[in-house]
Chain A
Amino acid sequence: MKKWQVAIVMLLAALGSWFTVGTQAQAKTYTIATDTTFAPFEFQAKGGKYKGIDIDILNAISKKENINYKLKAISFGAAVQQLSANQVDGVIAGMNITPERKKTFDFSNAYYTSGVVMAVAKDSKIKQFSQLKGKTVALKTGTAGATYAKSIQNKYGFKIKYFNDSNNMYNDVKVGNSAACFEDYPVMSYGIKNGIALKIVSKQYEAGDYGFAVKKGKNAKLLKKFNAGLKAIKADGQYKKIVDKYLHSSESSLTGETASSRTFIGLFTQNLGTIGSGLWMTLELTVISIILATVMGLALGVLGVMPGKVGPAISSTIIYIFRGMPLMVLAFFIYIGFPDLIGHGFKIPAFIAGMITLMLNEGAYTGAFVKGGFQAVDDGQMEAARSLGLPYWTAMRKVIMPQGIRIMIPSFINQFIITLKDTSILSVIGIVELTQTGTLIIARNFEGFKIWLMIAIIYLVIITLLTWLSNWVQRRIN
């Protein structure tokens, strides 16, 4: 076997082993999903560890009841979807117990009762709902605040804008794009205490209960243990200690950051480890996806220019499907929809799902320009090669492909850069790559501007390096 054949076999074997690991039921270790940015219930502390009321309660209960679990921090929306798709065993994420949700999930006893408040920018004059008329209100999808605001929208005549992330929502209000946001009281007050430039201007509405959720009819044992443990930690005072710790202290004592670490350089050095691992994940995803997408794209391109109708039809269909689908939809489909379809507890690790997503999407784009590149080679080239007696595949390999690929080089470079940037979309399925790292850091220190600037610079640096590398390769080839 040639070197590249060995490489492909090894790659396939690696993929295969990943899948089997993914499908093996891990005996008695529950996977519990939580939100990534919902301080003080969950947030990432310095060094990447998750902290918060939910996390500590879950931990305390597990100790009491001997529950083995693995925490999986993803966005709230993804957590809920994965629970209904049986990808995780439970969700603890400041989740309101609602009649609607009870149709799909079984909830524990309430472990916290919270109300919704309205918050506005510090210098805003808005005090009442009636002043919102014609203005925009920022909401975070799937929260009690969102449900409440929606219920009074018609009465007060405001517009709604949705966010996936609390910090982006706060920021939208802070910079004045939105007039107000609705948020759970403890979350809002914790944020304000930690430097968010908003103020709470309403009383608490629609007091709601937070519960731990499992999929309806599943994991009854886990739920029972949770309830028992909750009762126990309430009885022995641990529960009160946890809640007090988060609601009556300022963030810095929890995350271990000091005021001096709030400069750009300070933030950078403090978060170097977190950013570094995010960057590594981004690079890993980018490189593997570029390789896979290039292989797929070349295959689609070759298929697309094959004589006859079947090859081109298959190629066009695949390109049509995967180029037409937004990357995020594809990611959700592969990560959540596909295992749901297969059933039997089949699971795909987020990294694999992300890689397949990028391969299919970028591969389809690559296929389109590879096909175009081959077509751009003059027909006379194939005829001359065939008239010498060269078989089709030899002519393809020795005459058409070398010329076509030369034409495609600028498109390849472009596609590599797009792939790098597209990895950021995979944060929706919980992959902690560079962009998600930024979201997580900001969730605990609210330094939006400095952190995003940092992340942006890092992307630009990698893209510059990538462009240099590509130009060098291009010069070598020509």
Chain B
Amino acid sequence: MAKVIVKDLHKSYGDNEVLKGLNLEVQDNEVVCMIGPSGSGKSTFLRCLNDLEIPTQGQVVISGYDLSDKGTNINLVRENIGMVFQHFNLFPHLSVLQNITLAPVQLNKESKVEAEKTARDLLATVGLSDKADAMPKSLSGGQKQRVAIARALAMHPSIMLFDEPTSALDPEMVGDVLDVMKKLAAKGMTMIVVTHEMGFAKEVADRVVFMADGLIQESGKPDDLFDHPKSPRLQDFLEKVINV
């Protein structure tokens, strides 16, 4: 069974229907990149996958757990889905190490000692071994985002969601963060990445999904999609992005 199954997903804020019936399946180890114009509902879609937004209609099934089912323990499902935000959302009152160990320790996944060991290993993978005891406000944007990725990984999730992880970063920081994500993809992590980094999508994605007006307009292998866009909307979008 697919790892993520989305069926006929609708989401409205009052009269404003943001998602208008999305269908998507993501397989184990697959990396899916989502692209699309601003306001098309990409973030909303991603947030529906871990119940930060509650869909108005439709079904989301993660690793076999139906989120709309009352019997599903959402906290357990969330442990299995790491999420990385555009603005990092590190906990400013906690050190880097504490940011990473908070959830595993609070949820009794690991003892404090184990959690700290895991955290240091993760910091090494994201290239920030020397920052364990730093406070978030002393870090650069790129460092913050790498800590945020380490924090999400500390719960040993099997799916990672990224919502424009590099768009709040200075250009010279983007590479470090993308490198971490590439390593993750190479290790076989199932990933859904909302991004404007077409280069990353081309290189890493197994599949690219183009969203506009609350619907998936087109999807396919990156080479097909970027080189032979079918819909005028996508042609238009790619032209704008590339010209920027």
Contact = CB atoms under 8 A, between A and B. Distances in A.
Interface stretch (A5-13, A250-258, A380-388): A380-388
Contacts of A406: 93
Contacts of B82: 387
A380 B75 contact: no
Contacts of B151: 388
Given A387-B50, A387-B81, A390-B75, A380 B89 contact: yes
Interface of A: 378, 380-381, 383-391, 394, 398-399, 402-403, 406
- How big is chain B's contact interface, by range? 20 to 34
A387 B80 CA distance: 10
A388 B89 contact: no
Interface of B: 50, 52, 75-76, 78-79, 81-83, 85, 87, 89-93, 102-103, 106-107, 148, 151-152, 155
Contacts of A391: 75
6 contacts: A380-B85, A381-B89, A383-B85, A389-B103, A390-B106, A406-B93
Q: Is chain A's binding surface mostly helix, strand, loop or mixed?
A: helix
A387 B91 contact: no
A386 B78 contact: yes
A388 B83 CA distance: 8
Contacts of A389: 75-76, 78-79, 103, 107, 155
Nearest to B83: A387
Nearest to A477: B93
Nearest to A395: B106
Contacts of B81: 387
A388 B78 contact: yes
A403 B107 contact: no
A402 B103 contact: no
Contacts of B83: 384, 387
Given A380-B85, A398-B106, A387 B52 contact: yes
A383 B52 contact: yes
Nearest to A384: B89
B87 A388 contact: no
Closest 7 CB pairs of A and B: A389-B79, A384-B89, A388-B103, A380-B89, A387-B83, A389-B78, A389-B75
B78 A387 contact: yes
B89 A394 contact: no
Contacts of B155: 388-389
A380 B87 contact: yes
